[in-house]
Amino acid sequence: MSISSRRSALALSAAAAMVVLAACGGSSSDESGLTAGDLGGAPEAGVVKDGVLKGQSVQFVGYGGDIQKLQVGILTPWATKSGAKITQDSPTDYAKLKAQVTAGKGTWDVVDVEDSWAAANCGTLLRKLDDKIIDRSQLPEDNKGTDCAVPIVGTGNIFAYNADKLKTAPQTWADFFDTKTFPGKRGVYAGNPVAIFEAALMADGVAASDLYPLDVDRALKKLDTIKSSLVFWTTGAQAQQMVESGQADMGIFWSGRVLNGVKAGANWKAVHDRPLLQYDVLVVPKSAPNPVAAMSLINFALGEEASTKTTEGSGYPGTNVNSKPKVDKVTGEFQANVAPFKDPVTIDSEFWGKNVADYIDKWTTWING
């Protein structure tokens, strides 16, 4: 292809992108005129073509700390291969993201957010992800993400307990609500009622397949029975502290935080009954300056290798179905999406996205009651 025909092809695709833009109110076209077509054909998770993004730059935003270091390390081969550059910011801050979109001018291209938040803000703050750039085929059947988000790493909301305090091991969610057989303080997340409502309903006999739409009044009634035994945590660090300090004897925690506590010497064990899985998803804000490159990076993050490295590096489950991470025995005990955990339940992020504001009012009323 001669330079001039290449240039006219570019111009044509740019013009086509403008039409698409006008037609469906914004899809993946760059300020630089880059389009999905420039990435070199049909997408495959984890694969990026050589040199297609030379001179481009993508800003990745995560929650900071070790996990972001790990994430950026995993994504670096994408940059090397495509010729693009990764810049970073942290932490993820929804208000800041909204401010960038409202101002119509932002720097964030790819942001690591919670799945229910992404579901609630799809189309308003977040761009629809382009199937021509992102390949979802290697995601699990029941967890393909939403229009604006793809899952990259899971968190199990698991029932864990202090094995030094509890002489008999609890077995099921029902045991979490049995304060007679298993007395003790129960640590639960206070920021929102995601997972605890599901846990209460399952303990009350609702089958995992019948959870949604959630019967909130029934869940709160069940929770009334253990209210005086609850202690609340609001950050992952607090959860871990509860595990290590003995402030709680059991609780519903993010699996990785219990794992950290165990690695620090706490004798805690996981109950392997129906862990409630939530996912961190990657999204592209509407204000992203480089959406095409951003989605290319997201496509890379969905690959088998990225998924394997994520699990091996963090202990949290990745989302690629072909991934076979090798983890040590202790970490394996807290891998909420695989055995020995039985029948993992994926929390319905779209349902929560729609209802979280109302349920937080009910939850706040309940815990302050």
Residues that bind other proteins (CB under 8 A): 93-95, 98, 117, 121, 190-192, 231-232, 234, 245-247, 356-357, 360-361, 364-365, 367-369
| 300 vs 359 by CB, closer to other proteins | 359
| 179 vs 192 by CB, closer to other proteins | 192
Rounded to a whole number of angstroms, the minimum distance from the CB of residue 26 to other proteins is 20
| 71 vs 121 by CB, closer to other proteins | 121
Sign of the Cα torsion 136, 138, 144, 148 reads: negative
Rounded to a whole number of angstroms, the minimum distance from the CB of residue 299 to other proteins is 27
| 191 vs 213 by CB, closer to other proteins | 191
Give per-residue burial for 83-101: e unless 16+ CB within 10 Å, then b: ebebeebbebeeebbeebb
Location of structure tokens 């050589």: 50
| 93 vs 312 by CB, closer to other proteins | 93
Euclidean distance between CA atoms 231 and 217, whole angstroms: 21
| CB atoms closer than 10 angstroms to residue 60 | 24
The overall longest dimension of the chain from CA atoms, in Å, is 80
Helix (H, G, I), strand (E, B) or coil at 151: strand
Residue 307 tokens read as: 């998924």
| 245 vs 322 by CB, closer to other proteins | 245
Rounded to a whole number of angstroms, the minimum distance from the CB of residue 162 to other proteins is 13
Rounded to a whole number of angstroms, the minimum distance from the CB of residue 334 to other proteins is 24
DSSP-derived secondary structure for 228-271:
GGEEEE-SHHHHHHHHHHTS-SEEEEEHHHHHHHHHTT--EEEE
Rounded to a whole number of angstroms, the minimum distance from the CB of residue 300 to other proteins is 29
Helix (H, G, I), strand (E, B) or coil at 272: strand
